[in-house]
Structure 1
């Protein structure tokens, strides 16, 4: 993998992990454009792990005060606001965790250059964002039932082209939850899942890590630069997205998803 490809993939991951345009969908499109055999599911395994770790780390940095407050509350061992929030996070994780455990093999089949699927799912994302952008502002908090519904949206967003942040934030807003709370919950709920996935991937690849072969075909420098690109752009995108959600500016991302989705469908049907 070239340094240019690694940096581009890092920037795509960093931006699209938080912006509601589907990181998995855009990464699949980037792989199709690069047409590099090293970017298939197996060859880019370590790059994928590092890029997701970078964006998870950027989330922790941006929400460090929130996370510290939650941890402090949990260690009081009381039924306080932090404990209740943590329980809601756990509830929201269950659907995606179940899908990941029991349907992992089936899900992997969607990540082999299925450009038509990505295009169709981007159109679905565009519709969700448009609906959410037109929803009325409310001050409703996240409840346990809402956490479960948002979790189902997150599980569906495993499909490439369905934006995780777009699906969860849109679902939250359509449920009547305050926009800023929607964005905060959406970004915090994915952190445990990402770290859990990273831990699993590292354990699966411990042999390659121990003998240094994890970088074969990619290179240590591209891995490092891709990580830095994803981390830096992730922090910028996370802060930008919170501000945009508060101002109800999701329609522009809806237009982007609609355009990219349409191009992907045309490409897969008439060009590829």
Structure 2
């Protein structure tokens, strides 16, 4: 890959991983439309590491509190035997990650073979864009929002099931989890925060799988591409999370809904035109 391709692809990963517009779609499209070569396993690992570090660092206080509280629920550490919401939230996130893990394990070959086309991306981009818009309108009209503590295990699992569907390119992991969070009565901010926290084990699983594939492969490693890609993905993802949460209550989801619809229609025009 050229340096320009590294910069563009890493920026795409960092900016779209946490926005409700599908990172996988934006990483597939350059090869579909511009004819770029696949970025390779090593680069995929690098950008996943960058985005994972960004979300963990940004939510370091929440992650630390959940880790300590979770250890307490299993009889380890200073909070041994204590029951707190942080501990409960940690369990919700762990269990809600299971559907995506199972779906990825069982369906990855089918997805790779049949669902990574520009046509599928266009269709899912439009469909789930409409769903996000519908959920955002409902949330905007709601007088009171359910606090995150009232989400419950069932609500967390529904969001986890939605995350599994996001393995289909164009769906957007953050987009569909925020959509379900809004439909369940969460505020935009809480829906986004739960989505970001839920992304941590999901990105960890995806990165671990790609790392294992890289270790078992004979692919040559471009350390410059890995280092630069990881750094750019980290910086852009951290900035994206920060400003997205600031602007969310002011702008809502509609700018992203409009972007998805324009992107989807543009793809259909490109494919069918």
TM-score by length of 1: 0.89
- Contact 2:20 2:256 survives alignment (8 Å): yes
Is structure 2 residue 161 aligned with structure 1 residue 152? yes
Unaligned runs of 5+ in 1: none
Question: For 1:83 and 1:230, how far apart are their aligned partners in 2?
Answer: 30
RMSD of aligned residue pairs (Cα, Å): 1.7
Question: For 2:168 and 2:248, how far apart are their aligned partners in 1?
Answer: 23
Deviation, structure 1 residue 182? 1.2
Pairing 1:214-225 to 2, within 5 Å after superposition: 214-215=220-221, 219-225=222-228
1:75 maps to what in 2? Answer: 71
1:49 maps to what in 2? Answer: 45
Deviation, structure 1 residue 231? 0.7
- Contact 1:107 1:159 survives alignment (8 Å): yes
Question: For 1:64 and 1:266, how far apart are their aligned partners in 2?
Answer: 43
Question: For 1:163 and 1:198, how far apart are their aligned partners in 2?
Answer: 17
Deviation, structure 1 residue 111? 5.8
- Contact 1:116 1:269 survives alignment (8 Å): no
Is structure 2 residue 88 aligned with structure 1 residue 84? yes
Is structure 2 residue 193 aligned with structure 1 residue 193? no
Moved more, 160-169 or 236-245: 236-245
1:140 maps to what in 2? Answer: 147
* Alignment size in residue pairs: 259
- Contact 2:93 2:156 survives alignment (8 Å): yes
- Residues 46 and 127 from structure 1, CA distance in 2 versus in 1: closer, same or farther, beyond 3 angstroms? same
2:12 maps to what in 1? Answer: 12
| Structure 1 segments (4+ residues) deviating >6 Å | none
- Contact 2:20 2:173 survives alignment (8 Å): yes
- Contact 1:173 1:182 survives alignment (8 Å): yes
2:78 maps to what in 1? Answer: none
Give the match's secondary structure for 2:21.
Answer: coil
2:28 maps to what in 1? Answer: 28
TM-score by length of 2: 0.89
